[in-house]
Each structure stands twice: as structure tokens, then as C-alpha cells.
Amino acid sequence: MAASPRIAFTGPSSIPAKFASPRRSLLLQSFSPAVGRGLLSRSSVLSSGFKSDGAAYISGVRTHVAAVEQAVTVEAQKMEAPVVIITGASRGIGKAIALTLGKAGCKVLVNYARSSKEAEEVSKEIEAFGGQAITFGGDVSKEADVESMIKTAVDAWGTVDILVNNAGITRDTLLMRMKKTQWQEVIDLNLTGVFLCTQAAAKIMLKKKKGRIINIASVVGLVGNAGQANYSAAKAGVIGFTKTVAKEYASRNINVNAVAPGFIASDMTAKLGEDFEKKILEIIPLGRYGQPEEIAGLVEFLALNPASSYITGQVLTIDGGMVMRKETVLDRGYCLISERFRLGAFLIDCVARAFSVTYLFGYFVIFRNWSPKYRPDASSCFISLFHGSPAVFLAVAAILNQPVRGFASPNTNFQNLVLDFSIGYFTVDLLHYLILIPGDYLFIAHHLATLFVFVTCRYLVVHGAFSILVLLVLAEVTSACQNVWTLAGLRKADLPIAARIHKNLSPPFYGLYTIMRGFIGPVFFYKMSAYYLSGKASNVIPIWVSAAWIVVVGGAILVSIMWISNLWMQFFKDENVEKKDS
């Protein structure tokens, strides 16, 4: 849908028949005849009084008339350039709209809430095109800020011709976890802000009997979306609001329409996990994200093109064909969740079966001649050998292959695979303790807490795998050494070679363990805890989940430090005893 290059704001009364005459021509026609008649009549009087050099003088007067006419035309164009207010115009769709309308010759007020630097850059870009722009920092959910914003535009340019309600926020989470503040913040800005801005701007438009209002809604206002009850409700409200206001203001020549974008390329979509992005693109017939400039082109058509003057009260979806499918985003959301559980459960089942077979093989074959007292621990160490080092290599690879790494980044397919692998292992090892060593409460509690962290990260919040996998690497990098050390320790009393291995392996194992869990682990834990407790991740990882992670990880690190400290003290004690004996 191509947008018009015209710069003049036009209502239905100013549309030429069959759109035959360009708007620029109309401007010239409306201003040049009166100027021409007055100056040319004056020139005829002058020429009759000075006949001796009349031809030369008349030529000079005509040159002067042309210059004045050109100056008047330029001023007329400046006066007629539409004044546009765009809320939330410092980045994303709002920025694209501001730049597009600025290039088209509009005078643009760039509203922002916090991104003052970005708003100034948008304003400078518009001025670089030869346009006019000013910035205004204000919260459109506050009536005083809205009134001040409208006054700023009127003081600068005398009127408001076009309003684009674009400002919006998200506070996504499932309804059962949504706090009232998360609900209210979205409703206040995304819906109440539209009401306040429209009411304030309409007061000016009603007096002129001319205006255009474009509200940026969303396809989720039409079809809903899991995890966006607040956002969907606000955008559905904007759609209903648009239709009502369009009916109220139609008689005053004010057009009110809504644009409902689908998935548009942005910083947010760039951070989506690759598995989720793939599923999203599958439900978009065009197979790609939309671009902010495409939204801006539609807004320009509705705001400036004379052909849009007969359009009002409409919701124009620009979504690559997404909502025309019978399967909605909500349906796909449920499919994604169920598919995630099915595939995860299948993988965990396979891993658990493999570790169970490995455990039984160790118990009944490899360690069949060991004392019944040691066989369970030995078999546990045996399956740990097949989990620890592989988990480290897989986790490191998954972290390095993550496009955007952060404490609240969405999980990738690879990261989920590693989590499923570890869930399968810890499930089997937990069963080992529950069945064969039910009195080992510390390890049972450790495994239950670890499984809680892995399962919530993998299946509940689907974010934060970066944090969990880094901790997994720090915990398991010593696994191979620790398991060999443990197996040797079980037989050191009756096998001299086992005693030598245990003794020689103790210092390097203790040292590596101390570095990982006594120094690097606590530093990473501190950074992770500070990030989660700041609330920066609360939109994707609920506070109760991140707080539970902090308690579990902090407790595990504390126990590890106490355990390795006791081993070091015992080691030095044994060394002193040997020295005395020698």
C-alpha cells in the first residue's frame, strides 16, 4: 500500500474531483492569483507613468512579483504542513512513523517517556531531511503530561492535525502469576493513555472540523495470546475505543482508525529463542516478521493520503496474514506448550532409561564382587561419570551457541536438551538414594532442589538457562576427578593401589573444587542474585522462582564450601600425622 508523497493535510472538502490535480498545484492556485492580481495591477499604473523606459521597468517588476510569489508559496506550504503528535516515538514502530511523516513534510512532535537521547536523534534525523521536529518527555498515562504535550505542539505550530497513539509497554506473564501492578501498568499506558491523548487532541480538531487519529493496536487485541492478558485486554480496548470515537467524531470530519500489527522485527523479537521464533514464523503465511517501516507506510497513508479520507472506524491488520488463519496465536501457544512437554518427557524418559541400565550394569556386573555396603555408592559414581563430563561439554557448547546470553535470556533448543539430559540423570540418582540409601537426607534434599531448578527453568519459565548451565558447568567440571577419588576412597582400606590413587588425587581434586565452588561459583552467584533481586527479570522469571533458585544455589554453595573445608582440614591433619610417624 503505497503512501502519498504529498505534504499538505487534506480533508474531504479539499479533495479535487477524481484526484486529478496534485496537492502542490492546489496550494499554488490558492495563493498565487490574489498576489498576482494585486501586484500586476500596480505594475500597469507604474508603466503608464514611466513610458520612456517602461519595458525595462516592467521586466524588473515582473521579476519582483515572481520572487514575492515564490516566497508566499513557501510560506503557504509551511503553514499547511500538518502538525503531528506521535507518542512513544523514540524507537521501534514509533520512530519509523516519526521519520516517515517527517520526510513527508509534517511537523512532528516526538514524544518519549525515558529515552531522551534516542528521541533527540529522531528529531535531528527529521531536521536533516529539511523537516521540523521537537521532542517532549512525558508519561501519556498522566493527564497533566498529556495536556502539557498538546500545549507544546500548539505553542510551537498553532494546531494539531494528526495524532498517532503508539506508546505502549508489555508486562507479560501468565494470568495466574500476574500481579495487579503488572495489569494496571499496561492498562494505564496502553489504554488510558490513548483515551487521554485522544480527548486532548480532539478538542483542537473539533474546532477546526478536521483531523486524523491513528491508534496503534495489535493483532492480540483481536485473537488474544497466552501470557498477555493485560496487553490483549488493553489492545482490545483500543480497538473498541477507536470504533466508538470514530462514530462520535465522523460528523466533524475527524477520521479515527486503528492499525493492528502482527509480529514486527524489534529488539524483543531478536531475543526470542530459535525454537519459539521458528514456531511463530510457521503461523505467518508470508513467513517473516514485519518491518517498522511497513507499519509507518500504512500510518502515512491513513494520515496524509486523500484516498484515505473515506476510511474511518476501521482496524487494519498488518500481520503477514496471521489472523486469517483458523489457528490463532493462542491455539499455537497451547500447541507449543504441549509439544514442549511431549518432547521433553520423551527425552527425559530415554535418558532416565539409559542411566538406569547403566546403574544396574554397574551394580550387578562391574561391582558385583564389591561389598554390598559399597555397591550402591559405587554404582552412583559410575552413572555420574557418564553425566558429569558430557554435561559440561554440552552446557558449554549450548552457552556459546546462544545468540543473546543473559540471566533472563530465553532458552534455546540446545540448552533445553542439556537440561533434559541432567533432569534424566538426577531423577535416576534420586531413585538410587530413595530406594537404597533412604537415610541420606542431605543428598535427597540436594537432588530434589536441583530437579526443582532444572524443571522450572525448562518447563515453567523457559528463560534463564544461561544461569543454570553456567552453574552446572562449575558444579560438574570436577565430576570425573571426584568420582574416581570417591571410588578409590571406597576401597583404599583393602587395596593399596586404591589408597595411593586416593592420596595422590586428593590435593589436585581439592584445589580444583575449591577454585570452582569456593571462588568462581560465589562470584557468579552474587552477580546472578543481584540481577534477579533487582527485578529486571521479573517479566519472564517470576520473583518467587528466581528467589527459590537463589536459595537452592546459595545453600548448595555453602554446603560445598563447608564440605571441602573439612576435607582440607582432614588432609593437613593426616599429613602432620605422617610427618610425626616418619
CA distance 391 to 475: 10
Annotated binding-site residue? 488: no
DSSP state at residue 228: B
Largest CA distance in the chain: 136
CA distance 205 to 137: 23
Q: Are 422 and 391 in contact (CB under 8 A)?
A: yes
Annotated binding-site residue? 359: no
Annotated binding-site residue? 234: yes
Q: 3-state class of 410 per DSSP?
A: strand
> Which residue is listed with cell 518432547?
343
CA distance 181 to 79: 45
Annotated binding-site residue? 230: no
CA distance 142 to 150: 13
Q: Are 138 and 111 in contact (CB under 8 A)?
A: yes
Annotated binding-site residue? 166: yes
Active-site positions read: 231
Query: Average pLDDT for consecutive 10-residue bins of the chain (582 residues)?
Result: 37 36 32 35 38 51 56 50 95 95 96 92 94 95 96 96 95 87 95 97 95 96 88 96 97 96 77 66 87 96 96 95 61 49 74 92 93 92 93 94 88 91 94 92 93 92 93 94 94 91 93 94 95 88 93 94 94 84 69
Q: Which helix (H) or strand (E) covers residue 163, if one does? A: strand 162-165
Pull the grid cell for residue 195: 483515551
Q: 3-state class of 406 per DSSP?
A: coil
Annotated binding-site residue? 231: yes
pLDDT score recorded for residue 281: 82
CA distance 255 to 539: 36
pLDDT score recorded for residue 4: 35
Sheet holding 254-261, edge to edge: 132-137, 107-112, 83-86, 162-165, 211-216, 254-261, 315-318
CA distance 221 to 175: 16
Question: Who's near 25: CB < 8 A, 6+ residues apart?
Answer: none
CA distance 338 to 32: 70
Q: 3-state class of 582 per DSSP?
A: coil
CA distance 214 to 119: 20
Annotated binding-site residue? 232: yes
Q: What is the DSSP string of 235-302?
A: HHHHHHHHHHHHHHHGGGTEEEEEEEE-SB-SHHHHTS-HHHHHHHHHT-TT-S-B-HHHHHHHHHHH
Q: Are 76 and 30 in contact (CB under 8 A)?
A: yes
Question: Who's near 196: CB < 8 A, 6+ residues apart?
Answer: 140, 141, 142, 143, 146
Best CA proximity match to 289, nearest among 259, 260, 319, 315: 319
Annotated binding-site residue? 264: yes
Q: Are 221 and 238 in contact (CB under 8 A)?
A: yes
Cα dihedral sign, 181-187-188-189:
positive
Condensed to tens digits (0 to 9), the pLDDT of residues 32-53 reads 333 333 333 333 333 344 344 5
Other CB atoms within 10 A of residue 146 CB: 24
Pull the grid cell for residue 33: 492569483
Question: Who's near 535: CB < 8 A, 6+ residues apart?
Answer: 543
Q: 3-state class of 170 per DSSP?
A: coil
Q: Are 160 and 154 in contact (CB under 8 A)?
A: yes
